[in-house]
Amino acid sequence: MTSGKLKTEAVFLLHLLLTIGALFLPFLVSWQITVPVLLLVIAQHAIFGRCFMLSGHEVSEDDGSTFYSHVIERLGFQPNKKAIRFFVRKILYALLTILTLIWQLLLNNNPLLF
């Protein structure tokens, strides 16, 4: 494996870890940290219209790809990129933000880590 390919795969694995971790943030990390982090992701998509990490593992957004559609394609499936892009960019991170606030503030659950 070349050093360029190794770097691309390392960035992919980091992105995968961060993406999976984001799904568990409402339960693991305090809302004072989670909400600003998720709002930064939302702002990144709204202001710049893209994810900065995608270029690190050579995924172009020109065809509507997102990290999620890229992962699904790597698993051998052909996802609806437009639907995934809409869900991720408009719904998912807003939903995680709301879930964090409900879980921790309304239901008085403490985060598992900090």
Whether this prediction's pTM lies above 0.95 is answered by no
Q: How far is CA 64 from CA 29, 69, 108, in A?
A: 31, 9, 39
Helical H runs in 29-92?
31-43, 67-74, 81-86
Please count the residues of the chain: 114
Domain boundaries, the chain: 3-106
Looking at residue 74, what is its pLDDT?
A: 93
> What confidence score (pLDDT) does residue 57 get?
77
Q: In whole angstroms, give the CA distance from residue 78 to residue 32.
A: 37
> Both tokens of residue 94?
């807003």
Q: For residues 36 and 29, give the distance between their C-alpha atoms in angstroms, rounded to a whole number.
A: 12
| 93 within 8 A of 42, measured Cβ to Cβ | yes
Q: Per-block average pLDDT, block size 10, for the chain (114 residues)?
A: 84 94 97 97 92 81 90 96 94 98 98 94
